Structure 1
């Protein structure tokens, strides 16, 4: 009898240790999504994008755009693992659950020579234009420029909205960016958008 009770207690302990809260599942799914992006596995990262987004921008088009940018021979891009700063409590609105993740990330970019004909001045100008463009993006906190290597590092704080049908798992994400509000307002409730 003691063995049966001990076995049951161990099963319960193991089950409880694997049970995760909605926030833990949200964090796990977010880290998987970002992890695939860092590894440049855009097909898998797109599996974590809110499906409604692809009704506006087709998934294949998104994958192609990411592959073009990240595989450009004149540009080296590296994303570092993000640091989650805050996770809101999930809210149920219209049969779906929504939560906001605020995170910081470091983006490193370096302009590379595409051809022998490109001069140092060409590289310097491209790097300066790219730096100026990135500096104007929402969420960019700081940009460090390495003029000698035509490179820079940007620290970015961003928000994403996690969406789940059951509020526990299966979280999918969309970036909360005022520049794309006209797209995401079609499927993200106003109560959530008001928080960005």
Structure 2
């Protein structure tokens, strides 16, 4: 009887721990993105960047690139906080790390300042990158509004402190060094 009760109590606790882990991932992912929206790039990378990614791309260089992108005189660029965050139930264990896929909606606003390219060409290029229906132009302001469903990999060695890597198909050659292959195969 004691064994049956022990098994039942373990079965009842597993969903609680899984939900607690998913909530932790989502909260940390929101914090990571909030830091980026607030342009606190160094803190975002210190707290939440995948260590293997930082071995390939030094933090100082990434911070410089992010500052250039967000503060470029040729481009007005703003990202919103992610929406519709879905943390997968599936946990992949590899190389002493747990990996969980995070899917979310990212909204971006951008305006090209002083560009010699035609607005139609810019719009076509953005639609090629993000999908035709995901790019809208406000002709009165010149802003492009982009909605993109994105994926990230959350990784942790202790299931408490999560690091994040945005997954993009064009970055597969770099990502395959430290992201589980099944995450990369499923990229759209």
Question: Please, what TM-score do these two structures have when normalized by structure 1?
Answer: 0.77
Q: Cα RMSD between the aligned structures?
A: 2.1
Name the CA shift for 1:27/1:135 in 2 (closer, same or farther; >3 Å). same
Q: 2:26, 2:85 within 8 Å by CA — same for their partners in 1?
A: no
Q: CA deviation at 1:45?
A: 1.6
1:102 aligns with 2:94: no
1:121-164 deviation digits (Å, cap 9, x = unpaired): x56x3654543333222578511112232211001110000000
Query: Which of residues 151, 155, 171 is equivalent to 1:159?
Result: 151
**2:32 and 2:132 mapped to 1: Cα distance?**
21
Unaligned runs of 5+ in 1: 1-19, 114-121
Q: Which residue of the partner structure matches residue 11 of structure 1?
A: none
**1:151 and 1:98 mapped to 2: Cα distance?**
36
1:44 aligns with 2:49: no
Name the CA shift for 1:109/1:138 in 2 (closer, same or farther; >3 Å). closer
Q: Which residue of the partner structure matches residue 35 of structure 1?
A: 34
Unaligned runs of 5+ in 2: 1-18
Q: Which residue of the partner structure matches residue 9 of structure 1?
A: none
Name the CA shift for 1:85/1:33 in 2 (closer, same or farther; >3 Å). closer
**1:162 and 1:37 mapped to 2: Cα distance?**
17
Name the CA shift for 1:127/1:67 in 2 (closer, same or farther; >3 Å). farther
Question: Please, what TM-score do these two structures have when normalized by structure 2?
Answer: 0.80
Q: 2:29, 2:164 within 8 Å by CA — same for their partners in 1?
A: yes
**1:30 and 1:36 mapped to 2: Cα distance?**
10
Q: Which has the greater radius of gyration?
A: 1
Q: Quick check: 93-102 or 141-150, which moved more?
A: 141-150
